Amino acid sequence: MILASAAGVGKSAALACVTGTRFMEEKATFNNKILPYLLLAPSLFIIGYFLFYPTYETFRLSLYRLGPFGIRKIFVRWENFIDLFTSPDYLHSFKISLIFSASVVVFGLAISLALAVLINREVYGINFYRAALIWPYALSPAIAGALWAFLFDPSSGYLNYFFSLLFHIKPKWLTTGSLALLVVTAAATWKNLGYNVIFFLAGLQNIPKDLHEAAAIDGANRFQIFWKVTFPLLSPMTFFLLIMNLIYSYFGSFGLIHVMTEGGPANATNILIYDLYKEAFINHNSGLAAAESVVLFVLVVVLTLIQFGTSGRRVHYQ
């Protein structure tokens, strides 16, 4: 009797499980094929109207040039692009942008990783140090540019005050071409440090400590542990930040340059995004500005694809 009761209970439980599974499968079935598209329609409309349509208009406008008084558009095909790549000023901006971008990406990632390693330790007041390193990212580019402009002002800047006391010189930081590019690069790197440090710190804290302990037991020193264990495990985060810093260096540095140098002196800091602004809103040459947008878009895409093809091979997702 007991065995029969147990068997009956077992059959009832199995039947209940099967019935519950079928019920769940029936509840998970969605027969309405139109409703998902209706739910996605608002998002698709916003993306299409505010992203894809302006992109299409930019590509189309790059093939036109405004007629006299801006009354009509003249179809000129590829003349805007030919004018760009035969212009010494634009080629100079192209070269300056490559130098600026490479410097911001390389130095920004290197300094951020070093700072993230330092603040990954449990010491007294570590939360204050972490907040102090992250807060520059909260500043707007205009405010950050104003701070650096005041700091490097030739006549009243704090830096020149100390230079005059120590070396009896007052460099003209923002009115000398090479120095202005150096200062703008340092400001752009500093502005984005907080963003990089946040991600590097998150990556470091997710690395199991057992791996470091095992490497130390095997006789590895601190440098070997970092280079052979920590850095390879940070490769996904490093690759992500590499792409984001590239985009930032080409598109996110406009506010800094506009406040600090306005592309000067003598176009020494006139990177592509600022040259685009001048053509569109100062010279009112919308066709040429649209062509510069297309070139900038293609350049960033090509550089990103190169990074995916080279750096991406060394990325190991655990």
Residue 9 has pLDDT above 60, yes or no: no
Q: Are residues 255 and 114 part of one domain?
A: yes
Give me the helix-helix angle, 235-251 and 286-310, nearest 10°: 170
Q: Are residues 253 and 145 part of one domain?
A: yes
| Beta carbons within 8 Å of 184's beta carbon, 6+ residues apart | 100, 253, 256, 257, 260, 261, 269
Determine the structural domain holding residue 17 and report its residue range: 1-31
* pLDDT tens column, 244-283: 999 999 998 999 999 999 998 889 999 999 999 998 888 8
DSSP 76-134: -TTHHHHHHHT-HHHHHHHHHHHHHHHHHHHHHHHHHHHHHHHTTS--TTHHHHHHHHH
Rounded-to-integer distance, Cα 263 and Cα 271, Å: 7
Question: Could you give the residue ranges of the DSSP H alpha helices within the chain?
Answer: 2-28, 35-47, 53-61, 79-85, 88-118, 126-134, 141-151, 158-166, 177-191, 193-205, 209-217, 222-225, 231-233, 235-251, 254-260, 272-277, 286-310
Q: Are residues 264 and 149 part of one domain?
A: yes
Chain-centroid distance of CA 17 in Å reads 50
Look at residue 315 in the predicted model and tell me its pLDDT: 65
CATH number, position 296: 1.10.3720.10
Of 61-70, 137-146, 193-202, which range is least confident? 61-70
When pLDDT is cut at 50, 70 and 90, the band that residue 70 belongs to is: low
Look at residue 101 in the predicted model and tell me its pLDDT: 94
Average pLDDT on 41-56 reads 93
223-231, long-range: CB < 8 A, 24+ apart: 226/117, 230/117, 230/204
Q: Are residues 98 and 27 part of one domain?
A: no
User: Is there a domain that residue 65 lies in?
Assistant: no
Residue 182 has pLDDT above 70, yes or no: yes
Neighbours of 165 (CB within 10 A): 8
Q: Are residues 290 and 142 part of one domain?
A: yes
Q: Are residues 94 and 26 part of one domain?
A: no
Average pLDDT on 215-242 reads 88
In Å, the largest CA–CA distance within the chain is 106
Look at residue 165 in the predicted model and tell me its pLDDT: 85
User: Is there a domain that residue 231 lies in?
Assistant: yes
Q: Are residues 218 and 117 part of one domain?
A: yes
Considering only residues 87 and 313, tell me which one the structure prediction assigns the higher pLDDT.
87
Rounded-to-integer distance, Cα 194 and Cα 216, Å: 30
What domain count does the chain have? Answer: 2
Q: Are residues 95 and 235 part of one domain?
A: yes
Average pLDDT on 91-116 reads 94
pTM above 0.75, yes or no: yes
User: Is there a domain that residue 66 lies in?
Assistant: no
Q: Are residues 233 and 157 part of one domain?
A: yes
Q: Residue-wise over 263-280: b if at least 16 C-beta within 10 A, else e?
A: bebebbbbbbbbbbbbbb
| Structure token digits, residue 289 | 């500005």
- In this structure, are residues 284 and 290 in contact, taking their beta carbons and an 8 Å threshold? no
- Residues facing 66 on adjacent strands: 73
User: Is there a domain that residue 68 lies in?
Assistant: no
* pLDDT tens column, 285-304: 888 999 999 999 999 888 88
